[in-house]
């Protein structure tokens, strides 16, 4: 069940104001969430809605979601949705762990994500550097070697730029794994949007460039066309990794545009590691 669908169930709470169950549940709910409900109920388009209408109203779901994002922290939003689900009798379903995990799990996931991201980019840069060193070893052309060395410098700058951006984007650095509990989660997501997607795009272009580099030397070899194409195909095996990089860019775009972040992130990880 997506985030949007879960917001729909909050409408049923509005019909329970006069019951002990609702009063108990609302007493434990974050004040910011109660303020959002009160604000929505005061609006003309929602004031006369019944339970069934509220549970099926997409505008109500979006309005509630926008209000919670502005007034509540992620922790408060998750707690309120969990309480609302319990009050409405909605059983747990698959792909909804983001609303039921505790703070320790989220903390560990966020910290592990940063570590894996650093290791992933480091491995990516080292693999590209190894391939470029191989080009330097087998191709003697002076101009070509200069181009390869410039590419190696650019590849290293990507790695340096990543660390500079990551470690100085948000201060203190601990916000990466505990900022979601405060009203600063948007800073982290903005960081991913402003850097992760451009980084993936740059790596994709660099992959394409590294496929072109050896072809410029191999095409001038004194071989028959059939043998020449065979040699070029040997140096073009990396095209499969380039395809994976293109899929990663597509999945990152879908991830950044999705409201069901955990579900999209799961699919993105599958594509990246395939």
Summarised one tens digit per residue, pLDDT across range 99-109 is: 455 667 777 77
pLDDT at 11 over 50: no
Local confidence band at 252 (pLDDT 50, 70, 90 cut-offs)? confident
pLDDT of residue 139 exceeding 80, the answer is: yes
User: Within this chain, do residues 79 and 110 fall inside the same structural domain, yes or no?
Assistant: no
pLDDT for position 86: 64
DSSP of 120-176, one letter per residue? Answer: HHHHHHHHHHHHHHHHHHH---HHHHHHHHHHHHHHHHHHHHHHHHHHHHSSSTTHH
Same domain assignment for residues 42 and 153: no
pLDDT at 2: 46
Same structural domain for residues 42 and 80?
yes
Give the DSSP letter of residue 27: H
pLDDT of the residue at 243: 86
40 and 110 inside one domain? no
Among 68, 99, 130, residue at a domain's last position:
99
- Least confident range from 16-30, 109-123, 124-138: namely 16-30
* pLDDT given at position 263: 58
122-126, 136-140, 253-257: least confidently modelled range: 253-257
Residues 71 and 107 grouped into a single domain: no
Give whole-number Cα distances, 226 to 134, 213, 233, 239, 240, in Å.
24, 20, 11, 20, 22
Which is more confident, 112 or 171?
112
Is 79 in the same domain as 120? Answer: no
Residues 22, 115 share a domain: no
Q: Could you give the CA distance from residue 53 to residue 17 in angstroms, rounded to a whole number?
A: 17
Range of the domain at 172: 103-273
pLDDT for 53 beyond 60: yes
Which of 99, 132, 165 lies at the terminal end of a domain, its last residue?
99
271 pLDDT more than 90: no
For residues 110 and 165, membership in a common domain is answered with yes
From 59-68, 103-112, 199-208, the region with the lowest mean pLDDT: 103-112
142 and 70 share a domain?
no
pLDDT, one tens digit per residue, over 141-175 is 899 999 999 999 999 998 888 777 767 766 666 66
Q: How far is CA 15 from CA 5, 9, 27, 215, in A?
A: 18, 11, 15, 69
70 and 167, same structural domain?
no
Rounded to an integer, what is the distance from CA 234 to the centroid of its chain? 34
The listed range with the strongest mean pLDDT (73-82, 98-107, 213-222, 254-263) is 213-222
For residues 107 and 76, state if they share a domain: no
Residue 217 has pLDDT above 80, yes or no: yes
**Do residues 164 and 76 both lie within one domain?**
no
Distance CA 76, CA 20 (A): 22
């Amino acid at each position: 069940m997506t985030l949007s669908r879960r917001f729909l169930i909050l409408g049923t709470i509005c019909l329970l104001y006069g019951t002990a169950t609702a009063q108990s549940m609302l007493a434990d709910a974050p004040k910011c969430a109660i303020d959002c409900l009160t604000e929505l109920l005061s609006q003309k388009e929602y004031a006369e809605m019944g339970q069934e209408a509220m549970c099926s109203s997409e505008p109500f779901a979006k309005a509630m979601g926008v209000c919670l994002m502005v007034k509540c922290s992620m922790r408060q939003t998750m707690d309120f949705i969990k309480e609302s689900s319990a009050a409405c009798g909605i059983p747990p379903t698959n792909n909804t762990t983001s609303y039921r995990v505790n703070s320790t799990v989220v903390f560990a996931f966020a910290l592990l994500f940063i570590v894996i991201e650093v290791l992933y980019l480091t491995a990516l840069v080292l693999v590209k550097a190894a391939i470029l060193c191989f080009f330097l070893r087998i191709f003697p052309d002076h101009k070509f070697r200069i181009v390869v060395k410039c590419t190696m410098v650019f590849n290293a700058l990507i790695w340096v730029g990543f660390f500079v951006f990551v470690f100085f984007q948000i201060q203190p650095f601990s916000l990466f794994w505990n900022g979601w509990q405060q009203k600063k989660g948007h800073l982290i997501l903005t960081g991913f949007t402003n850097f992760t997607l451009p980084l993936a795009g740059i790596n994709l272009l660099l992959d394409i460039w590294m496929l072109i580099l050896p072809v410029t030397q191999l095409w001038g070899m004194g071989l028959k066309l059939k043998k020449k194409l065979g040699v070029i195909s040997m140096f073009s095996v990396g095209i499969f990794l380039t395809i994976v990089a293109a899929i990663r860019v597509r999945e990152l775009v879908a991830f950044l545009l999705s409201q069901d972040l955990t579900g999209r992130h799961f699919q993105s990880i599958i594509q990246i590691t395939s």
